[in-house]
Amino acid sequence: MSLGYHVRVATAVAIRDFKIRITYIPWIINSLLQPIVWTYILIYTYRAVIGGASQPLQQHGWPSDYVGFLILGQVLLSLFNALNWRAGMAIQRERWFGTLEIVFLTPASRLIMLAGSSIYGLIDAGWISFTAAVIVFLATGTGFHVQDPAAAVLSLLMAVAGAVSMGIGLAGLYVLTRSAGPLAVAIQYPLRFFSGSSFPLTILPAALQYVGYALPLTYGIEAARMALLEGASLGDVYPLILRLAAISLVSMSLGILFVRWAESLAKKYGWLHTF
């Protein structure tokens, strides 16, 4: 099939998702408020504990600007959560809508359909995450410290790519478990704990740190913080970006394999109604 055909399929999926999204305005409001509320909860919690002094935090790997640390962590985590519900839940939504059998029988590539949901998810969650970040940065008076624009742009792009790869990887897992909704909700809190979005991973016991460093989201958040808050150069963030790219590739590949496996089982045994 031609590239133009795949583009039309991805575009059609993105437009459909947009039409569904705008019918539920409270979802949009919640998506905007969630990163702002979570960030302020953490900021005031840490201020209450440390009394305004940042030295205790710096001993555990925090930068001097811990407010910016929290803002970027929560905003990028919210971006992933949005993609979790866009790409990760794409196939499950077909089941809810009663169109999964049609999707499995269509000649269109399932990967392209997931790509369409991911593209819309990036557009939808991207402006919300950006707006939330700007609001909190302006409200708290926190500023960026960027010395290498190329490092900042590449870090943010790779952080987004890591979130997309996790969404596609989870899409395969969700369709196999047939319990996508509860899993999508349950996975958000372990990710908040293990990704380093709310505190440096070095605070955790060594065994738990390995869990965090197996997640693409962890490297994306860390690279973005280094480039945007600490003035890191491209050379400084390059090792993180390489690890992020490798883990993202594995995550995306597993998701594609899982989706194809579920589809082949459904077609072979006539289990379309169970997936």
Provide mean pLDDT across the span 3-21: 75
| Dihedral sign, Cα of residue 107, residue 175, residue 164, residue 184 | positive
Alpha helices, H only, 55-186: 55-58, 66-83, 90-97, 100-105, 110-140, 149-177, 180-186
Provide mean pLDDT across the span 44-55: 70
> What's the token pair of residue 74?
């929560």
Q: What is the DSSP letter of 197?
A: S
Provide mean pLDDT across the span 173-185: 70
Whose CA is closest to 174, among 89, 95, 106, 253? Answer: 89
Q: What is the DSSP letter of 63?
A: -
pTM for the full model? 0.77
> What's the token pair of residue 102?
């049609």
For residues 77 and 197, is the Cβ–Cβ distance under 8 A?
yes
Distance in angstroms between the alpha carbons of the first and the last residue of the chain: 26
| pLDDT over 80 at 149, yes or no | yes
What was the pLDDT predicted at 111?
73
**173 residue type, one letter:** L
Reported confidence tier of residue 25, pLDDT bands at 50, 70, 90 = confident
pLDDT above 70: percentage of residues in the chain: 84
